[in-house]
Structure 1
Amino acid sequence: MREIVTIQVGSFANFIGSHFWNFQDELLGLVDDPHGDPVFKNQSLDMDVFYRAGEMPQTSFAYTLKHMQGIPTYSPRLLSIDFQGTLGSLSSHGSLYHEIPSAPMHVRTWTGNVTKLVSDPQKKNLFLQRLDEEEHGKPSAEEDDHIQDKDIVECLENGVHFWTDFSKVHYHPQSLYELKGLWMDAQEFDNYGIGRDIFSEALRGEEINDRLRFFVEECDQIQGIQFIVDDSGGFSSVAAEFLENIADEYTNTPVLLYAARGPGPGTTNKNALGRKDSISKALHDAVSFSRLSSFSKLIVPIGLPFLSRSKASTFLCIEDSKAYHCSAVYAAALHSISLPFRMESIGSATDSHYVAGAIDVNGIVQMLAGQARQNMVAILDVAMPAPCLTGEQNKQSVQRGLHSLTPEIAEDVEDFRAIESTTVHGIHHSGGNPASISEVQDSIFASYESALTRPMFSHLSVALCPLPIPLPFPSIFSNLVRERGELLDSPIYGSQSRGSLDVHSIPMAARLRSSNAILPYIETRLGNLRRFGIEKGAPGSEVLRSWGFEKDELQDMGEELSRMVMALDPREESSDSD
């Protein structure tokens, strides 16, 4: 067994995670669906890599109905961290167990009147009501007109407030950790300094480490940690402190870190900010990137300021203000990247009919960050949906359909030392028939051969299984996307956007690449740290002091960022020394 533990820190990270786990849950359900597409029956994917098996016990903090005790459970190997109150209608103990109501505390030294204030629980939306009905054996929507699929889709499009509003997964009681007692909202929790001491205060760090230890110690042979952090505010420093502990305790366990930036304060137009706020934001970005990268083996920045305007959204209809929309795209890309981590080892000739190119987390890290250039910052590209195989050179190839989800990168740069790992799954021929593993491989390799520039090294993973679209997925596909993700030349009449009722699965391609195209991203952070924080009379020096940083720490950060730049552009070495 080669398990992966997933950690999600912050609101947008949990939005991404909610979609990610919905994809996994959908795959599990389609395997057992007698009416499902046969392509999902033989996935050759080991879901135990991301999931843990257990059973419903009697515990000290929860009770299980007698008829449910001992029933097997299958839940994500996940630790989620967020504000108190961001779980919506979901209990912090998850949904597998029923909480024991806490006994009222009687203070005998007080003889006066007592007023008890109890907030109303969050009301479950139509989607969660449907899940409850199915859990308790009540009539489904096909048998009862009470809740229809179209009503659920409309409800979610207009009413997602929490990441749990569209989650259809059962979570283990150790998975959901709330940061209690902060008394602030996301708008106030907007910089690195404000979250710096939160991890170590009130025994939070010990409690979080204990929860991670619970999942790690039950692994037979952990292959790595998939870490997603909302790095737009204070959760960045919470994650950095946590990552430092992980680096100390699990020295040989590689961390694949996604630094995610969602809609909201993190994507605010700089021109709309005052000078002080602009400097604070620039310093946050620099410090956050420096600290997070120092405790991970490979860091992948994701989160475009305006996803809807990007080339990645060519066949999508995104509302940038909706975390529910944007996070779905990033989650789909992470799902594709993670497929090689759970591909079953090729043990016979028949196995290769379904998957090829298995690799583990350490393999990806060593491939992208462990080569001669030692670049640990990767770019994430996606084709959603991926184009079909046409066999014609003048048509769009899978590689040409890939566009970046990483912000602030250089476009169309030549890098003869680039390294990339691409995952392609569920690809069709132009006629709609599924393409075989060998046909996809031949097409990709032919594209490399005909390209004017090609990477120094590339790895390809292929699977027949497409990305399943679960019911709570947002309606973000354009009217050029058909039921199985085929791309049309002319739009479907009568609809601007299409969702899970119209599109049931899509072919996908995603790529991690080590390239000097990431230079602008790093150089911007290095320049801002020097200009606003390190140079004599820097206007942001007081801000950094209020965040708890001394001058020598800032100098160390600057030197580390400078080394990253020099690794990608040796010409900077002479100018830096000057």
Structure 2
Amino acid sequence: MAPEIITLQLGSYANYVGAHFWNLQDEAIATGQQEDWSNMAASIDHEVFCSWSEDGKGRVSYAPRTVVLDFSGALGGVSFSPDAAEAVAACMAAGSWSGPVQVHSTRRAAKSSFRQQLEAAAEADEGDEAAAAAQQAALEAAALALHQEQQPKYWTDYLQVDLHPSTVLTLPGVWQGSSAWHGWGPAPDSSSSREAAEAAADRVRWWAEQCDRLQGLQVLADDLGGWGGVGRSIVQELREEYASQPLLYFSLQQQQQQQQQQQQQAAANTNSSSSSRRQLSQCMSVAEVTQLASLYVPLVAPASTAGSSSNFQAAALLAAAIDTATLPLRCNSAHAAAGAALGSTDLHSLCHLLAGPAANLAALSLQLPPGELPSSTPEAASQQDTSSSSGALLSLSGSSSSSYLLTDGVQLGPEQCLAESLTLRGARVSAASLACSSQAKAALDALLLQRQRDTIGHPCVSHSCISPMPVALPLSFPHWLGSAAATAAAPAASSGSSSSAAGVRVPLLSRPGMAAAAAPGALSRLTATASFEGMLAGLSSSMRRLVPSGQGRACLDEWGYSVGDTEELQERLLQLAQRYDSDKGL
């Protein structure tokens, strides 16, 4: 039995990311049952993030081991609790009230076409091949409609997995757009904050009681979108109860223009501008959460990313990065034809590696797909340079068009690297051929050795994980995936797979029977970097400038912080920056 991890999702944007993350897990489980995927999929232990159950027919199903918090009305047409009519009927049956009853309700939001087709597919007759083919075609058409919409209204519109109903919580009476739930969020001692923290902690305990060997907690938090104070309260309570367990915290930030649009109404009702609110929220998140989390990873989709203005598309990029960066936590020693996964680790070791050199902050980058592996012979290398379908070979420079630096305000240059965890999955030796684990390891080790030679005097402790398992992309994965992935996959893709022209971004859809060689690989780098010094110093400067202003003071009063509290947090930011100062020991 693999050591388990419990995930918390706090806020709407975190749930956009979480929906993509669980879709990726679900697709990996499903494709693992296909013949050409099964050998590679055996090296991934899905029980780390998911619980499983078996029905009377011996069929095994998996459910995300997660706790979800969101606003009222944020679940769209999907219900995780009895509706109003059922609740009224239950009250009447109880006989506690004999008077008249009036029910006032609004029309429930309609389920997306994609969700409807998913449910229809689950109920379809598996023995009728013609009906199954027609249902699959309808499902693919609904998925394409999601991509064309660019921005599904709710994260449940594209969620492919079933969540346990008792672990999905909405805040009663608190709706999306509430003026108090923007930026860092309402004061921790507000009634809604206390209720949310207590309910979330109870659900985590419920999951923990079912775990045989709990190895830690993973938090996806929209802490710049109103959930910062609540998230801090939840994490603080959990740290008291699970003090020995590591906690990996992903601070998920929307693009600034998106968040400013959402905060315009809130800013109009207060004395603070959306820009000041965002800057102070970033300061609060880093200063508060780094005191509680084992590792703090701030993430935002780059503004240059195609589709970054859409939560649906930007969240997919962040989810793919988190999925790959946490793959070492799910790898096992099972041997496959392409070789066993190498470099598996646990959450405690991962956090200890990256938090050890300075402070407990890490940056994340993703290459999707990475370049092909360099050839081992000069003759083949010369031919590879001219025939590589993606036009690039595997590199740590992050300069390719498929590379994304997902932590704002830092650099991942070799001179700044203090410690790093790299994950290379689904590496290729050519457009139509996946590499085995030993080939991928040799290529990555060679790159790390060359970097070490080029940066003598700047040691970086590196951990690497190699998995032959590529990224199994679900139908709902959006358009932003670059043409390099689709082009590389095209020669081996099944006849139903989509292709792309140069420079055109199209979805690469997973389908039943899709060849594993058609799926893209990925390279993630989770890095402790000395360039956090500049980011932290900038946050401290922003806080020093904004706190005395009327706009800043209005924000902090709303969030429940006194002048003394803010001085302590500003000092905390300065101390964190000094820990990355090369003149003081690094």
Give the TM-score of the pair, scaled to structure 2.
0.82
Q: Name the structure 1 match of 2:309.
A: 321
**Are the counterparts in 2 of residues 94 and 171 from structure 1 also a CA contact under 8 Å?**
no
Q: Secondary structure at the match of 2:486?
A: coil
CA distance in 2 between counterparts of 1:487 and 1:262 reads: 36
Determine whether 1:369 maps to 2:361. no
Q: Name the structure 1 match of 2:319.
A: 331
Q: CA RMSD in A?
A: 3.5
Residue 196 of structure 1 aligns to which amino acid in structure 2?
A: P
Q: Give per-residue Cα distances to partners, 1:359-418, cap 9 Å, x unaligned.
A: 111011100102xx3321101011011111133598543312454100111464723x61
Determine whether 1:175 maps to 2:155. no
Q: Secondary structure at the match of 2:344?
A: coil
Residue 49 of structure 1 aligns to which amino acid in structure 2?
A: V
Determine whether 1:421 maps to 2:421. yes
Q: 1:172 to 1:341 in 2, by over 3 A?
A: same
**Are the counterparts in 2 of residues 421 and 459 from structure 1 also a CA contact under 8 Å?**
yes
Residue 397 of structure 1 aligns to which amino acid in structure 2?
A: L
Determine whether 1:294 maps to 2:280. no
Q: Secondary structure at the match of 2:577?
A: helix
Displacement of 1:175 in angstroms is: 2.0
Determine whether 1:262 maps to 2:254. yes
Q: Secondary structure at the match of 1:181?
A: strand
**Are the counterparts in 2 of residues 368 and 513 from structure 1 also a CA contact under 8 Å?**
yes
Displacement of 1:321 in angstroms is: 2.2
CA distance in 2 between counterparts of 1:353 and 1:166 reads: 34
**Are the counterparts in 1 of residues 331 and 344 from structure 2 also a CA contact under 8 Å?**
yes
**Are the counterparts in 1 of residues 39 and 337 from structure 2 also a CA contact under 8 Å?**
no
Q: Name the structure 2 match of 1:103.
A: 90
| 1:413-492 mapped onto 2 (5 Å cutoff) | 414-415=415-416, 418-451=418-451, 452-453=454-455, 455-482=459-486, 485=489, 492=500
Q: 1:493 to 1:413 in 2, by over 3 A?
A: closer
Q: Name the structure 2 match of 1:541.
A: 553
Q: Name the structure 2 match of 1:497.
A: 505
Q: Name the structure 2 match of 1:59.
A: none
Residue 156 of structure 2 aligns to which amino acid in structure 1?
A: T
Determine whether 1:53 maps to 2:52. yes
CA distance in 2 between counterparts of 1:327 and 1:123 reads: 23
Residue 381 of structure 1 aligns to which amino acid in structure 2?
A: S
Q: Name the structure 2 match of 1:75.
A: 63
| More displaced stretch, 335-344 vs 551-560 | 551-560
Q: 1:144 to 1:78 in 2, by over 3 A?
A: closer
Determine whether 1:38 maps to 2:37. yes
Q: 1:204 to 1:228 in 2, by over 3 A?
A: closer
Displacement of 1:571 in angstroms is: 4.2
Q: Secondary structure at the match of 2:428?
A: coil
Identify which of 230, 249, 259 aligns with 2:222.
230
Q: 1:386 to 1:187 in 2, by over 3 A?
A: farther
CA distance in 2 between counterparts of 1:279 and 1:357 reads: 43
Q: Give per-residue Cα distances to partners, 1:188-229, cap 9 Å, x unaligned.
A: 621224253457657433222111100112111111111110
CA distance in 2 between counterparts of 1:422 and 1:164 reads: 31
Residue 461 of structure 1 aligns to which amino acid in structure 2?
A: C
Q: 1:145 to 1:305 in 2, by over 3 A?
A: closer
Q: How many pairs align? A: 537
CA distance in 1 between counterparts of 2:99 and 2:142 reads: 51
Q: Give per-residue Cα distances to partners, 1:439-478, cap 9 Å, x unaligned.
A: 1111112112223226521011000000011111112223
Residue 43 of structure 1 aligns to which amino acid in structure 2?
A: A
CA distance in 2 between counterparts of 1:72 and 1:300 reads: 34
Q: 1:200 to 1:478 in 2, by over 3 A?
A: closer
Determine whether 1:123 maps to 2:110. yes
Determine whether 1:512 maps to 2:518. no
Q: Secondary structure at the match of 1:289?
A: helix
Displacement of 1:345 in angstroms is: 3.8
Q: 1:240 to 1:94 in 2, by over 3 A?
A: farther
Q: 1:380 to 1:91 in 2, by over 3 A?
A: same
CA distance in 1 between counterparts of 2:502 and 2:331 reads: 40
Q: Name the structure 2 match of 1:189.
A: 181
Determine whether 1:136 maps to 2:151. no
Q: Secondary structure at the match of 1:103?
A: helix
CA distance in 2 between counterparts of 1:546 and 1:110 reads: 42
Determine whether 1:566 maps to 2:578. yes
Give the TM-score of the pair, scaled to structure 1.
0.83
Q: 1:157 to 1:264 in 2, by over 3 A?
A: farther
Structure 2 portions without partners, runs of 5+: 376-380, 386-391, 493-498
Q: Name the structure 2 match of 1:152.
A: 143
**Are the counterparts in 1 of residues 530 and 580 from structure 2 also a CA contact under 8 Å?**
yes
Greater helix content: 2
Q: Give per-residue Cα distances to partners, 1:18-38, cap 9 Å, x unaligned.
A: 11111111111112235xx33
Q: Secondary structure at the match of 2:531?
A: helix
Displacement of 1:558 in angstroms is: 1.7
**Percent identity among equivalent residues?**
24
Q: Name the structure 2 match of 1:62.
A: none
Q: Name the structure 2 match of 1:2.
A: 3
Q: Secondary structure at the match of 1:192?
A: coil
Q: Name the structure 2 match of 1:381.
A: 365
Q: 1:186 to 1:363 in 2, by over 3 A?
A: farther
CA distance in 1 between counterparts of 2:404 and 2:285 reads: 25
Q: Give per-residue Cα distances to partners, 1:337-359, cap 9 Å, x unaligned.
A: 1111011146xx76991300001
Displacement of 1:153 in angstroms is: 1.2
CA distance in 1 between counterparts of 2:40 and 2:89 reads: 45
Q: Name the structure 2 match of 1:23.
A: 24
CA distance in 2 between counterparts of 1:178 and 1:482 reads: 38
Identify which of 497, 522, 532 aligns with 2:536.
522
Q: Name the structure 1 match of 2:565.
A: 553
CA distance in 2 between counterparts of 1:248 and 1:260 reads: 24
CA distance in 1 between counterparts of 2:218 and 2:159 reads: 19
CA distance in 1 between counterparts of 2:546 and 2:584 reads: 20
Q: Secondary structure at the match of 1:171?
A: coil
**Are the counterparts in 2 of residues 486 and 506 from structure 1 also a CA contact under 8 Å?**
no
